[in-house]
Amino acid sequence: MAYAYRSHPWRSCPEAEGRALRHPVLIAGGGPVGLTTALELAAYGIPSVVFEDGDRVSEGSRGLCWAKRSLEILDRHGVAKRLIDKGYTWNTGRLFHGEQEIYHFVLQEQGSHKFPAFVNVQQYYAEEFLVEAVERQPLIDLRWRSKVVDVRPGPDGVVLEVETPHGRYSAEGDWLVAADGTRSAARRALGLDFQGDTYEDCFLIADVKVHASLPKADRRFWFHPSFHAGDTALCHKQADDQWRVDFQLGPEVDREAEKAPEKVIARVRKMLGDHPVSVEWASIYTFQGRRLERFRHGRVLFAGDSAHQVSPFGARGGNSGIQDAENLAWKLAFVIQGKALEDLLDSYDVERGQAAAENIRLTGRSTRFLTPKSPAERIFRDAVLHLAEKHLFARGLVNSGRLSVPTVHEGSPLNTETDFEGGVLPGEPCPNLLMEHGYLLDRLPRDFVGLAFGPAPDLPFPVIAMPMQAASAFAAAPGTFYLLRPDQHVVARWQDPDLKEILAAHARALGG
Amino acid sequence: MALVTTPNLRDPDGFYEALMELHEGLSPEESAALNARLVLLLANHIGDEAVLEEAFRAARRPALVQHSP
C-alpha cells in the first residue's frame, strides 16, 4: 500500500489581504527541522509562522533512521510514540563481506530505556505526525503552498517575499529560522556559499515492497556484495512492511536509466530473493560533506540541511537537524522574552557548528572507507575487511557509517568547568534514567533546572531532588549538584557547590 | 615510548628472509594486499599513536640516494 498523501490547501492570511503584521519568528521550510523548531518555540510560549513550499509532506523515505536523542526531543510533542508505533525498531547492525557475515554490532545494551537506539520510519510519516502536532498548537501558523523566494535581512528584523498560488506578499518578522533545506532560498538570498566536499560516486536509493514474507532484519550492510557488482549495498526495514535499499553504483551512471522500476526491481530481487517486488520511490544521490561557515547571520539563523549536509550513512542528517532545532529554540525564546541577551544566539553557531564539523568529519571518514579514492586506499580497505573476518581489532576499523549519537558540546562558552571526575559531562545531554516516578527527562521543565543529590540552596529555577539510586550515572555523592539547560544539556556539576558558583554558572549559560 | 630505530631484531637476515618468503609467488597486487594486512596487524599490536606517527614520518621521508631508473 502506497502512502496516502493528504493535500493541504493554501489559506489566505493577513499579509495576503494587505494587512501588515510583525511576527516574532518566521520559519522558512516545513520539513522535520522547521516543524520541530516551531513546536519547540511554542513550548516556550513563542508564536511562529512556518512557510512551506509544497502542499504535502515529502516524497520518499529520505530521513529514515530516527535516533534516540531525536525521539527524546520529539517525545515532548507527542511524536516519538507515534514514530515507534508506526516504525521498525532496531538495535543490531550486520556487516557482510560478500556472502559472509563478518560481524554484528549492538547499539544499546538491554536495560530500562524509554527509547530504542533507532527506529526506522519514512520521513513522510515523521512529517505527518509533526504536522498533526503543529495543527494542535495554536501558537503555530503553518502556511502551505507558500514559497519563500527572497529574504531581506535588516538590523532588527527580516522581510520575506512569499509566493503563493494567489500571488506574492511580504512577511515581516523579528527573526528568521531558515530550515529550507539543501537548496535553501535564504542561503541564496544572503549570497552564502556551502563549503566542503562533494563526492563522485552515485548511489541508488529506493523504497520497495517485497511481496513475500521475509524474516525481519536489522540494518544489513554488504561490502563487495555477491548480488551486486558495486562496492557496497545497504538494506533497512521500514514502516508499512517496506524495505529501504541502497546500492553503490560508481562514478558515472545514467541516472534516469538506473531509476527505472525494472532496473531497480532486478537489483532488489538479487538482494532479497526472487519474489515479486514493487518500487515505491527511487532516487540517485551523491555524498556531500558541506556546511555554511556560520549558522547565524544577524537575525537569520540556519538550521538543518540549509546549514549542513552529510552523507546518509550514519543517520546524521535529519537527527542533527532535530538537535539544531532544540538547541536554537530555547535560546531564541530566552532572547525574545528578554531573559538573555542576543549574544546567546552566537552559542547556537558555536555549538551546532561544532556538531556539523563532527558530523562532516565522521561521515567523511565513512565515505572514504566506502568509496576508496586511490588504489592504495582500496588495498587497505580490503585488507581491513579480510582481517575483520577473524580478528576483533579489525572490526573496529570497518566503517559502514558511524551511527548518530548526540554531540557533546565540550568546551562550549556556556559550560562551566569544575573539578569533577566522570558522570555526565558539561555539554552532554542528561541521560533518561528510569526513576521511581518515571523517566527523568519527563520531569524536566522548559527552564534551567538543578539536579540535587541532597539539600540544595534556594535558586531562581526549579530543582529536582535526585535519589541516591541514580548516583552512578552522574558519578554523584551526597551533595552533588548538576545544572541543566532548558535543552537538557549539562551546564556544570559540582561535588559540593555554594550558591555563588551555581548562580555564576547559570549567568554564564545565559550568555554572560 | 619512542619508535625504536636502533637494531632490535635478534636475527636480521633471518627476519628478512622470512619476509621475502612470505611474498614468494605473489603478484604485485597480492603482495600489496599482504603488506597492507601486515601493517594493520602490526599497528594494532603497537597501539601507541605517537610511535605510529613517528613510523609514518620515517617511512614517508624521501630516500637520500635516488637509484637510477
- Is the residue at A399 inside a domain? no
- Is the residue at B52 inside a domain? yes
Residue with cell 518566521: A26
- Is the residue at A95 inside a domain? no
* Model pLDDT, residue A4: 93
How high is the mean pLDDT of chain A? 96
Report the distance separating Cα A365 and Cα A462, nearest Å.
42
- Is the residue at B66 inside a domain? no
CA distance A474 to chain B (A): 31
Per-residue cell: A226? 555477491
| Cα–Cα nearest to A71, from A133, A117, A140 | A117
* Domain match, A139 and A75 both: yes
* Model pLDDT, residue A2: 80
- Is the residue at A420 inside a domain? no
Question: What is the per-residue pLDDT across A23-40, written as a single tens digit (0 to 9) for each?
Answer: 999 999 999 999 999 999
Nearest CB to B33; choose among A383, A394, A397: A383
**Backbone region of residue A240 per phi and psi (left: phi > 0; alpha: psi in -120 to 50; beta: other values):** left
Inspect the interface and report whether the beta carbons of A386 and B37 lie closer than 8 Å. yes
DSSP string, A323-349: HHHHHHHHHHHHHHTTSS-TTHHHHHH
- Is the residue at B38 inside a domain? yes
SS3 category, A3: coil
How many domains would you assign to chain B?
1
φ and ψ of A102, to 5 deg: -90, -35
Name, in order, each residue with C-beta under 8 angstroms of B16's C-beta and a sequence gap of 6 or more.
none
| Cα–Cα nearest to A414, from A485, A480, A501 | A485
* Domain match, A177 and A212 both: no
Residues of chain B neighbouring A376 (CB-CB closer than 8 A): 32
Residues of chain B neighbouring A394 (CB-CB closer than 8 A): 40, 44
CATH of the domain at A318: 3.50.50.60
Q: How confident is the model at residue A456 (pLDDT cuts 50, 70, 90)?
A: confident
- Is the residue at A474 inside a domain? yes
φ and ψ of A271, to 5 deg: -80, -50
Question: Can you say how many angstroms the Cα of residue A502 is from the centroid of all Cα atoms in its chain?
Answer: 31
* Model pLDDT, residue A299: 98
Whether residue A324 is predicted with pLDDT greater than 90 in this model: the reply is yes
Taking any CB pair shorter than 8 Å as contact, residues of chain A touching chain B are 376, 379-380, 382-384, 386-387, 391, 393-394, 397
- Is the residue at B46 inside a domain? yes
- Is the residue at A158 inside a domain? yes
Dihedral of CA atoms A459, A460, A461, A466 in degrees, nearest 10, equals 0
* Model pLDDT, residue A1: 61
Contact A199, A323 (CB under 8 A): no
- Is the residue at A450 inside a domain? yes
Owning domain of residue A501: 434-509
Inspect the interface and report whether the beta carbons of A386 and B33 lie closer than 8 Å. yes
CA distance A383 to chain B (A): 5
* Domain match, A158 and A66 both: yes
* Model pLDDT, residue B69: 58
* Model pLDDT, residue A437: 86
Nearest residue of A to residue B36 by CA position? A380
Question: Does B10 touch chain A if contact means CB atoms closer than 8 Å?
Answer: no
What is the percent of chain A where pLDDT is above 70? 100
Name, in order, each residue with C-beta under 8 angstroms of A476's C-beta and a sequence gap of 6 or more.
A423, A453, A466, A468, A470, A482
Whether residue A156 is predicted with pLDDT greater than 90 in this model: the reply is yes
Q: How confident is the model at residue A457 (pLDDT cuts 50, 70, 90)?
A: confident
How many domains would you assign to chain A?
3
* Domain match, A210 and A278 both: yes
* Domain match, A189 and A301 both: yes
- Is the residue at A414 inside a domain? no
Q: Tell me the ipTM for this assembly.
A: 0.94
Whether residue A439 is predicted with pLDDT greater than 70 in this model: the reply is yes
Name, in order, each residue with C-beta under 8 angstroms of A401's C-beta and a sequence gap of 6 or more.
A221, A311, A312, A313, A314, A315, A363, A366
| Alpha-carbon distance values, A100 to A94, A220, A249 (Å) | 10, 12, 21
Contact A45, A334 (CB under 8 A): no
What is the percent of chain A where pLDDT is above 90? 96
* Model pLDDT, residue B68: 62
Whether residue A416 is predicted with pLDDT greater than 70 in this model: the reply is yes
- Is the residue at A238 inside a domain? yes
* DSSP conformation class of A291: E
Contact A319, A359 (CB under 8 A): no
* DSSP conformation class of A17: G
Owning domain of residue B50: 33-57
* Domain match, A295 and A442 both: no
Report the distance separating Cα A180 and Cα A147, nearest Å.
10
Nearest 5°: the CA angle A28, A33, A38 is 70
Tell which of A273, A289, A305 closes a domain.
A289
- For the segment A366-373, the average pLDDT, to the nearest whole number, is 94
| Cα–Cα nearest to B30, from A483, A23, A228, A386 | A386
- Is the residue at B51 inside a domain? yes
* Domain match, A224 and A169 both: no
* Model pLDDT, residue A125: 98
- Is the residue at B40 inside a domain? yes
CA distance B24 to chain A (A): 19
Tell which of A361, A387, A412 closes a domain.
A361
Report the distance separating Cα A444 and Cα A450, nearest Å.
9
Q: How confident is the model at residue B1 (pLDDT cuts 50, 70, 90)?
A: confident
Q: How confident is the model at residue A215 (pLDDT cuts 50, 70, 90)?
A: confident
- Pick among A97, A386, A390, A399 to test the B interface (most B CBs inside 10 A): A386
* Domain match, A71 and A175 both: yes
Tell which of A346, A361, A376 closes a domain.
A361
* Domain match, A228 and A303 both: no
Residues of chain A neighbouring B29 (CB-CB closer than 8 A): 379
Contact A142, A149 (CB under 8 A): no
CB atoms < 10 A from the CB of A245, how many?
25
Contact A228, A103 (CB under 8 A): no
* Domain match, A212 and A298 both: no
- Is the residue at B69 inside a domain? no
Per-residue cell: A427? 555539554
* Model pLDDT, residue A349: 98
State the amino acid at position A505 in one-letter form.
Answer: A
- For the segment A10-25, the average pLDDT, to the nearest whole number, is 96
